Amino acid sequence: MHPLIQLLRPHQWVKNGFVFAGLLFSHSWNDPALVTQALLAFVAFCLISSAVYVMNDLLDREQDRRHPEKCHRPLASGAVSVPAALVLAGVCLLLGLGLALGLFAPFGLPASQAPWVFVAYFVLNVAYSLGLKHVVVLDVFIIATGFMLRLLAGTLGLGIWPSHWLLLCGLMLTLFLGFAKRRAEMNILVAESGQHRRVLDQYTPAMLDQFTTLSAGATMMAYSLYTVSDETIALHGTPWLIVTVPCVLYGLLRYLYRLHHAGGGDPARELLTDPHLLAIFFIWLTLVVWLLA
């Protein structure tokens, strides 16, 4: 793809799909106004997150040049100049925040009901890029917080009160993905990991294996309890969400397999390229929509 488009990391936009979770589990997919707001929130997050990715690549371009994979990124390879990257990041940020804050309301595009979520996401990622990414364990919690803000944009931002089950399952899942990604980076870089990401010097393979196992188990337990809780059964009018539990378990185990035996690790790339993960995700989604509808 064109280097400028590659710099935006469009494959990472799949992470912004978290904004649709509130729409799905609140049975609001038949409300055109809420669907429109959710789509706008998704677009806003894609633009803001791309601005953050460009900023990260600008700050890390020297380190990326010594990385076996990241050296091919547009800024590290020299395919995109620094001024062009700055302009691209600025345009994406202005458009994304403009959508969230309602600056395009004259064009019929409504503002988010919780615009602070988008501002908080950007500020959090600036702090992460400028130093918090070097703080062990906190770095992954910040990544997970970014996902939680996406969930809030798709709930509070649409006027939907988020379920505590949704927040709990989302937190456990994103912590699992964050620690798994750190483990994947360690697998790729081995002895020189600290030269490319300083925080990796403070992790060990055994520590990250424990963290991923703990968070994967917590994710599985939280989702399983959610499907059988009296609150869930009353809200959705069905006791059969439990049939989706094997899908979640298979997805977690398949991702761990990819992590340890197939050189995987990037959640977005794995979901888009691994046929097993793609298939089990669509099976899970189909079952959930069918049961809730």
d(CA 119, CA 48): 9
Report pLDDT digits (tens) over 156-204: 999 999 889 999 999 999 999 999 988 888 877 654 444 556 778 888 8
Residues 6+ apart with CB under 8 A from 119: 97, 100
What percent of the chain is modeled with pLDDT above 70? 95
Q: Rounded CA gap, 19 and 39, in Å?
A: 8
pLDDT digit string, tens, across residues 25-35: 988 888 999 99
Q: The domain that contains 33 carries what CATH number? A: 1.10.357.140
Q: Are residues 72 and 195 in the same domain?
A: no
At residue 76, the pLDDT reads 81
Pair 199, 134: CB distance under 8 Å: yes
When pLDDT is cut at 50, 70 and 90, the band that residue 284 belongs to is very high
Neighbours of 101 (CB within 10 A): 16
Q: Give the pLDDT band (50/70/90) at residue 74.
A: confident
Q: In angstroms, rounded to a whole number, what is the distance separating the alpha carbons of residues 203 and 136?
A: 7
Which of 95, 92, 113, 93 lies closest to 103, judged by CA?
Answer: 95
pLDDT of residue 184: 85
Residues 19 and 137 in one domain: yes
Tens of pLDDT along 110-144?
Answer: 888 899 999 999 999 999 988 888 899 999 999 99
232 pLDDT higher than 70: yes
Q: How far apart are CA 102 and CA 109, in angstroms?
A: 7
pLDDT value, residue 88: 94
State whether 98 and 168 are in the same domain.
no
Mean residue pLDDT across the chain: 89
Q: Are residues 145 and 15 in the same domain?
A: yes
Can you say whether the dihedral through the CA atoms of 90, 96, 97, 103 is positive or negative?
positive
Verify that 141 and 205 share a domain, yes or no: no
Expressed as residue numbers, the domain containing 251 is 164-293
SS3 95: helix
| Confidence (pLDDT) at 69 | 73
For residue 270, what pLDDT is reported? 83
DSSP state at residue 113: S
Are 115 and 157 in a shared domain? yes
Q: Are 49 and 117 in contact (CB under 8 A)?
A: no
Residues 160, 22: contact at Cβ < 8 Å? yes
Query: How far from each other are the two terminal CA atoms of the chain, in whole angstroms?
Result: 39
Listed residues 99, 133, 162: the one ending a domain: 162
Count of other CB atoms within 10 angstroms of residue 286: 12
For residues 189 and 205, the answer to whether their CB atoms sit within 8 Å is no
What integer pLDDT is reported at residue 194 of this predicted model? 47
> How far is it, in rounded angstroms, from Cα 264 to Cα 241?
29
pLDDT at 110: 84
Structure confidence at residue 125 (pLDDT): 92
pLDDT value of position 41: 94
Helices and strands (H and E) in the chain: how many: 14, 0
216 and 138 housed in the same domain = no
CA dihedral 143, 146, 151, 154 (to 10 degrees): -150
DSSP label at residue 244: G
| Rg from Cα positions in the chain | 19
Task: Give mean pLDDT, residues 81-102.
Answer: 93
Answer with the one of 162, 196, 219 that is the final residue of a domain: 162
pLDDT at 106 over 80: no
Query: Residue 249: what pLDDT?
Result: 97
**pLDDT value of position 59:** 84
